[in-house]
Amino acid sequence: MYAIAPSNAAFISKFIEAFGPFPFPILGDPNKEAYYELGHKTSPKWKLLSQAAIGFVIGKVKNFIPKDERQKKVVLTSMKKADVYIQGGTYVYSENGKLIYHHVDSSPEDHAKIDTVLIEV
Print pLDDT tens along the chain (121 aa).
Answer: 789 988 899 999 999 999 999 999 999 999 999 988 988 888 777 666 666 666 666 766 666 678 889 998 988 888 777 667 788 899 999 989 999 999 999 877 788 999 999 998 8
CA–CA distance, 67 with 73 (Å, rounded to integer):
10
pLDDT score, position 85 = 76
* Whether 3 contacts 26, CB under 8 Å: yes
State the Cα–Cα distance between residues 103 and 109, nearest whole angstrom: 13
Q: How far apart are CA 36 and CA 92, in angstroms?
A: 18
pLDDT given at position 86: 82
Q: What is the pTM of this model?
A: 0.72
75 contacts 65 by C-beta, under 8 angstroms: yes
Confidence (pLDDT) at 110: 85
| pLDDT of 51 | 66
Question: Quick one: pLDDT at residue 75?
Answer: 84
